[in-house]
Structure 1
Amino acid sequence: MALSLAISPCPNDTFVFHALAHGLVPDAPPVEITYADVDVTNSAAERGAFDLVKVSYGALPWLLDGYHLLPCGGALGRGCGPLLLTRPEHAERRSAEPAERRNVERRGADLTGATVAVPGDRTTAYLLFRLWSADRPPARIEVVPFHEIMPGVAAGRYDAGLVIHEARFTYPRHGLTALVDLGEWWEADTGLPIPLGAILARRGVVDPEAAAGWIRASVRQAWADPTASREYVLAHAQEMEPDVVDRHIGLYVNEFTADLGRDGLAAVEALLRRAADAGLAPPTAGLTPPTAGLAP
């Protein structure tokens, strides 16, 4: 019997899951794949719609009653956090601080009355934005499909936009500037990697240890022969140029993809603890992935 799997069409997901999706992982069951933006999969997972599903780490507090967190296949890392973008005329005046600190410590950013487009109200990006902006006047928030955010900011429909993934590489083409790199802010504040996207296995339907084994095998095959998935990845890359696809995979598919490890799990715990302490999410229990032997 086939398992239902929901992932994004982004290059990191299609690269990681190519082998599993194409029946190339020994002893793994067939899978039926749905491709959707993470805001869609977050909501679907809350309904228990998929057996294996990619979601935002920021959505975990509402999902762990029905799903196990798997320690592999997701997206964590350093230097890969969400960006808050705006048009140059709305960017704050550059300070005289050193460039390496400027994005992290832009405490004067004024979003009072601004309309900010976000890719989902339970995405990790939005959670990081709310933690970062907790001591600032509130902005008006609009949930907007990811692919509409940068064009909307450039056209003046929104004052700022919160973006993820390949937008890190392409936002200058839209004439936009980064007001803050929330990944830099998070790393400077915590010393931990940025937990972005998680893979979950439905309780009572999928054996989490078996699923972790299938996904790790898929990751290993992707790394062993990157050309095998090339056509599949490009077909789902939403007209992304090959060099952007390569940079995307290089940034988001890393050691944390194979195993969260102690640092990855600590990052997830820190994010959700801060969210609960700030009243942005319920407290999270049962977070530790069910597979033993997290890498150091």
Structure 2
Amino acid sequence: MDITVGHTPDSDDAFMFYGMFTGKVSSRDFTVTHVIEDIEKLNRKATNPELDVTAVSVHACAYIPGYTILRSGGSFGIGYGPIVTAKKQMSIDEIKKCKIAIPGKMTSAFLLLQLMIGKFDYVEMNFSDIPEAVKKGKVDAGLVIHETQLSYEQEGNVKILDVGEWWDKETGGLPVPLGINVMKTSLGEDTIHKFDKYLQASIEYGLKNLDDALEYAMQYSRGKPRELIEKFVKMYVNKVTINMGDKGEESIRRVFEMAKQKNTCTRFQTKYSHQVIIL
């Protein structure tokens, strides 16, 4: 079966798909064409299902009822996650009055920050442009995702909020629900199960062949040193990535329960837009 698979130009996604896309892990069931896009572009593509399988933000589940959530391939922070950076330290009241650059309205980082501090003034931009916009004073602060969570000091900024740390304390240690992989529900449960196992095997292969998988992932390093990329990949390709388990499921449910309670997610529907997590 020929299928299209979307993932981001990020080192952790590349690491997960290394086995699959290089043919190190094969499948009799699928021939894969991969499509690489920024996460917010993938989120928007998924609202009018274009790709058979795609990485999306957990937040996007409120807008994409045509997909089923896979158990493998998720990006969950374990006590860490997105941060907010600025040129100087600020109080929480000052932050709430800031114009904050965000990496997209459908990103989980945006939803989580709203849950943390309430509504705020924001401007959307590509996540990779946010550190420079903060440094040059184009915005007051920036909501930072991906490897720039680790490189903000080298970029001349300071951390003023830790969204992942807040979630960890707020939920009693649930993993931070950031990114997941989804597959068109119309393809059927059997096909979805098979692909989920295929992706899981690819992730496990990468973890067992760490140096080779990291070398492959470095093509998406955006000029960052290997040590930083290795640290980032090890943060976001973890045991919950192989299979989200009960804790991963609970964290997804919890974020939408909180969004509903706070009326934050404007298109929230019961059971995150009728989506299900494949069993």
**TM category, shorter:** over 0.9
Cα distance in 2, alignment partners of residues 87 and 128 from structure 1: 22
Q: Given the alignment, which residue of 279, 284, 287 partners 2:270?
A: 284
Structure 1 residues 237 and 284: alpha-carbon distance in aligned structure 2, compared to 1, 3 A threshold: farther
Structure 2 unaligned segments of length 5 or more: list them.
Answer: none
1:126 to partner: Cα distance: 0.2
Amino acid at match of 2:278: P
1:272 to partner: Cα distance: 1.0
Cα distance in 2, alignment partners of residues 114 and 256 from structure 1: 34
1:288 to partner: Cα distance: 4.1
The equivalent of 1:179 in structure 2 is: 160
Amino acid at match of 1:205: L
SS at match of 2:186: coil
The equivalent of 1:29 in structure 2 is: 30
Q: Does 1:149 align with 2:125?
A: no
- Structure 2 counterparts to residues 99-178 of structure 1, below 5 A: 108-134=92-118, 138-178=119-159
Deviations, residues 162-213 of structure 1 (Å, cap 9, x unaligned):
0012112100012211111001111101111101001000122362111111
Q: Does 1:92 align with 2:90?
A: yes
Checking the alignment, whether the CA contact within 8 Å between 2:127 and 2:144 is kept in structure 1 is yes
Checking the alignment, whether the CA contact within 8 Å between 1:80 and 1:252 is kept in structure 2 is no
Amino acid at match of 1:201: M
1:273 to partner: Cα distance: 1.1
Structure 1 unaligned segments of length 5 or more: list them.
Answer: 94-107, 292-296
Structure 1 residues 112 and 272: alpha-carbon distance in aligned structure 2, compared to 1, 3 A threshold: closer
Cα distance in 1, alignment partners of residues 112 and 223 from structure 2: 28
Look at both structures and tell me which one has the larger radius of gyration over its CA atoms.
1
Amino acid at match of 2:215: E
Checking the alignment, whether the CA contact within 8 Å between 2:20 and 2:199 is kept in structure 1 is yes
1:228 to partner: Cα distance: 2.9
1:30 to partner: Cα distance: 1.8
Number of residue pairs the alignment of both structures matches:
271
Checking the alignment, whether the CA contact within 8 Å between 2:96 and 2:117 is kept in structure 1 is no
Q: Percent same amino acid at aligned positions? A: 25
Cα distance in 2, alignment partners of residues 34 and 17 from structure 1: 12
TM-score of the superposed pair, with normalisation by structure 1: 0.87
Q: Given the alignment, which residue of 219, 232, 245 partners 2:203?
A: 219
The equivalent of 1:9 in structure 2 is: 9
Checking the alignment, whether the CA contact within 8 Å between 2:7 and 2:37 is kept in structure 1 is yes
TM-score of the superposed pair, with normalisation by structure 2: 0.92
Amino acid at match of 2:8: S
1:154 to partner: Cα distance: 0.3
SS at match of 1:142: strand
SS at match of 1:227: helix
Checking the alignment, whether the CA contact within 8 Å between 2:214 and 2:230 is kept in structure 1 is no
Deviations, residues 132-187 of structure 1 (Å, cap 9, x unaligned):
112xxx53210010110000000000000000121121000122111110011111
Cα distance in 2, alignment partners of residues 244 and 268 from structure 1: 28
Cα distance in 2, alignment partners of residues 112 and 278 from structure 1: 16
Q: Does 1:242 align with 2:226?
A: yes
Checking the alignment, whether the CA contact within 8 Å between 2:53 and 2:182 is kept in structure 1 is yes
Amino acid at match of 2:214: R
SS at match of 2:94: coil
Checking the alignment, whether the CA contact within 8 Å between 1:272 and 1:283 is kept in structure 2 is no
Q: Given the alignment, which residue of 181, 194, 199 partners 1:199?
A: 181
Higher helix proportion (structure 1 or 2): 2
Amino acid at match of 1:87: K
